[in-house]
Chains A and B, each alone.
Chain A
Amino acid sequence: MAKIKKTIRRINIKADLCNGCRLCEIMCSAAHSTPKYGTINPARARIQIIRDPLKDIWLPVFAGEYTPAECSGRLNYEIDNKSYGECAFCRAVCPSRGRFVEPDSGLPLGCDMCQSDPELETPACVEWCMRDVLTYEEREVEVEEEDLKLDEMKIGLEALANRYGMDEIKDAVARMSQKA
């Protein structure tokens, strides 16, 4: 099996340094708006600060994968004598909470590390965090070819198959082929 190089992009979060200014939320929403930097709306941000100020909780969390169903259990973290509510560290865009969904459409939001055209040097949230809470790194790792995730089209097809069933997808593709 051939080894290939893959770039891992990572945002490190030092939550203890967060002072709750929310510039990360503001700039995330600006960078993802159309036209770019045309609108500001932290509710559309792919990073959000879970906050309970008097309890000293300021926790930046990034939007992760969409999940159609709630998980079966809940976690409760006790760290440094502070109690983090259930779901605090969870990145899932999940029906159990309103976080990380487009306010208008309800569609899920996901952190894409600001992959855009033109490419940003670092994600907007990292660029505008002035307290080094968020830092960005890229590193190259060698992986087996098989380990690579499905590419974008396959992911899309898989989602469609989950929703409509494989037979429906096959029929649709067959009909589209005949038209073409």
Chain B
Amino acid sequence: MRYAETGYNLEVDLATGNIERVQTDPKLAETLLGGLGTCLKIMWDRTTPDTHAFDPENPLIISSGLMAGTPAFSSNRTLICTLSPKTNLLAYPMGGGFFAPELKYAGYDKIIFTNKSPKWVYLWVHNDKVEIRDAEHLLGTGAIEVQDLIREELNEPNAQVAAIGTAGELKSYIATVEMGRGSASRMGAASVWGDKKIKAVAVRGTKDVNLADGPAFLEALKDMRAFVDERNHNRLSSKNIMDIHTGVGSPQAMEIVDESWHTGGFSWGNARYRKKDFWNDELEEAWTKIQYGAIQRFISCYACPQQCGALIWHEEDPPYMAKCYSKLSYLFGSETEDQNFSWKILSKSFRYGVDSFSTPQVLAMAVEMRRDGVLKEEDFAATDEYPACPPPEEKQEVFLWILDRIGKGQGIGKILALGTKAAAEKIGVNPEHYAHNITKGEEQMNVKLGMLDPMYFLMFATNEKQSVPQIEGNWTQDAFRDPKDREEFVKDWIHLPHERFIKYFLDWEPKSREGGPFMNPEYPTPEIASDIVDWMEEIHNYDDSLGICCGMGGFCLKPAYHVHNYYKFVSTAAGIDVDQYGLRKIIHRSRNLHRAFQMRRGMTRADDAPPADHWRHRFPELEEKLLTTYYNFKGWNDDGVPTRIRLEELDLGYVADELEDLGILKKVETTDEDKETWESRRKEQWGY
């Protein structure tokens, strides 16, 4: 019997229509857990450095995490894993909601599509009955309404549906996969759905998911519940951190109205300038009315005690479910302050199925290009298909008009649908000026600051998801000014992986005119920054393989899940006999396989760089030192490639062989002494 996982994948060949239910090796879960970990192994085995996102050989994997379908809180993430057409690296966006658990109940851990369908289809998975169904009649439908259309067509109100909108059909690089309450959004993964002509996947399952030791699992869950209950009644003090980060769960942007921090700290337009004095009482009053007027109900994802999402019924706009930062991103981009506009444009953007992170920046870039004359007025003129774009001063209407062109694949929208970098290149301008807010080709948070922050430098530079919220979260964004507050904060910081982290926090000072050795950019030092960032990334890696919302783990201060309790859920649910150090080794294995995969695809040290204008004050020498120190901390060479010693220690000798054969990893003679040196460092750093 298999525990937590079903032990089966569904292999779908879209060219021949052949569908196989394939049993997986139990060793895979023991060595790589599930979710991202096991997806990486499939991607490593089935792609070459030359495979492109739109090649038939590129697998498209829809994956649950190892914990999906169990009662583990917030274990509901659906991971879409494929090659990104946008970054040419691994795309693995994750969406919340209900899809992944339903897939488990249908009896599958993953659906793996290969090749391309000659016509538009959707997949219907109902336990052992799986069929590829015609979807030609669904073309042009929105990503939200098509879910209901399919449920009606199947007469299965309880089916969970993941679908693309028209942006995905048109292979837009900013397209998303929408699944009821969640969106898998980043790195253009949805364009691969369009390329393979998959409009949607519907699933209904009524089978069991087994727990290896149910009573012990329940005890671990009760402990977590007590923690969440306590935290819900006693949030962290907001003296030094923002309101939206004081609870557990995703940032509570639906519940909390006060956005003084985001609106004053983040950049507006095409991530160009800040409005430090934007927030005021009058605005808070207006936004409270609008926000609570639009929210019909706060909603959860599957198996989650929190309610970070909201059902939005706003004016005449078709309803949808919103979450988190999307509330603000279009406001920033369009430079407007009317929150009504957020709710209106989101209703449209979720239907087209476009990413709320990247799209506002694409739209803002188009506005800039129009202003600068890079895009001509004829690009905004009326045609037989659509009306003329409103004048520039009608900012909201302009945004809606450009979004329509992207969503419908018309005129200039065809180019803008490729994201800022590829669009700027196609338009023939210097992408570094207009597409300035990117890492490895992916739009970043619209944040532009003054002084280099060593930890954020490493996070922006090296995060494989090219999204800073997917690596940050467990460490505060800023130092606390009052040492007493620091002392108080560390008192119950049970989440830290090692006592030495307490000292890091107590020593850390906020930036001041006087300067000093314990402030940015000197502090955290490269060694300490590496230690902290590596730990933060580790938490996200657990989430990504277990299928847990990072709002309960990686992207949360003092979260519900942490290094001292993940293993309890893994061991009792999946029956994998590990303690926290055993689990750490597993997650390091998948992290290093991930890194090797990216390097095999041609990524280099030079690609590990934040947007050039992210900070005004940069320190090239220090940045190089930070990168090298971080690489070496992780067991990578100065090029950022995992060393043979590191890979072999993680049973990835075959990966080292291939990297050496490709000339990516330099062949170096390693002695027993080298191994011993590494092993003692590893023990000191990570405890195993």
Contacts and interface: CB of A to CB of B under 8 A. Distances in A.
A126 interface: no
A37 B215 contact: yes
Given A21-B305, A23-B303, A53-B299, A41 B105 contact: yes
Q: How large is the interface on A (under 10, 10 to 19, 20 to 34, 35 or more residues)?
A: 20 to 34
A73 interface: no
A26 B217 CA distance: 14
A21 B214 CA distance: 20
A58 B297 contact: yes
A34 to B, nearest CB: 10
A130 B229 contact: yes
B207 A40 contact: no
A36 B311 CA distance: 35
Contact of A37 (B98, B211, B299): B211
A39 B301 contact: no
A65 interface: no
A68 interface: no
Interface in A29-75: 30, 33, 35-44, 52-56, 58
A22 interface: yes
B304 A21 contact: yes
Given A21-B300, A56-B296, A41 B208 contact: yes
Nearest to B104: A40
Given A20-B299, A53-B321, A40 B304 contact: no
Nearest to A55: B319
Most buried by B among A36, A38, A131: A38
B206 A38 contact: no
B21 to A, nearest CB: 18
A76 interface: no
Contacts of A56: 296-297, 311, 313
B303 A37 contact: no
Contacts of B300: 19-21
B265 interface: no
Contact of A38 (B144, B210, B229): B210
Most buried by A among B69, B98, B208, B228: B208
A37 B207 CA distance: 15
A103 interface: yes
A39 B209 contact: yes
A78 to B, nearest CB: 17
A27 interface: yes
B105 A42 contact: yes
Contacts of B304: 21, 23
A26 B302 CA distance: 9
B207 A41 contact: yes
A86 to B, nearest CB: 13
A165 to B, nearest CB: 34
Contacts of B298: 19
A130 B211 contact: no
Nearest to B297: A56
B219 to A, nearest CB: 10
Contact of A19 (B144, B180, B214, B297): B297
Given A43-B206, A54-B320, A38 B71 contact: no
B30 interface: no
A41 B297 CA distance: 26
Contact of A130 (B69, B225, B297): B225
A87 to B, nearest CB: 11
Contacts of B591: none
A40 B297 contact: no
Nearest to B180: A53
Contacts of A36: 214-215
A44 B71 CA distance: 15
Nearest to A102: B206
A130 B305 contact: yes
Contacts of A54: 144, 148, 311, 319-321
B608 to A, nearest CB: 39
Contacts of A35: 214
Interface in A126-140: 128, 130-131
B283 interface: no
Given A21-B303, A40-B71, 4 more contacts: A23-B303, A40-B210, A44-B206, A54-B319
Interface of A: 19-23, 26-27, 30, 33, 35-44, 52-56, 58, 103, 128, 130-131
23 contacts: A19-B300, A19-B307, A20-B299, A20-B300, A23-B304, A26-B303, A36-B214, A37-B214, A37-B215, A39-B208, A40-B70, A41-B207, A41-B208, A42-B105, A43-B206, A52-B157, A53-B180, A53-B311, A54-B320, A54-B321, A58-B297, A58-B299, A103-B206
The 10 closest A-B pairs by CB, nearest first: A37-B214, A43-B206, A21-B300, A103-B206, A39-B208, A130-B305, A19-B300, A19-B307, A41-B208, A54-B319
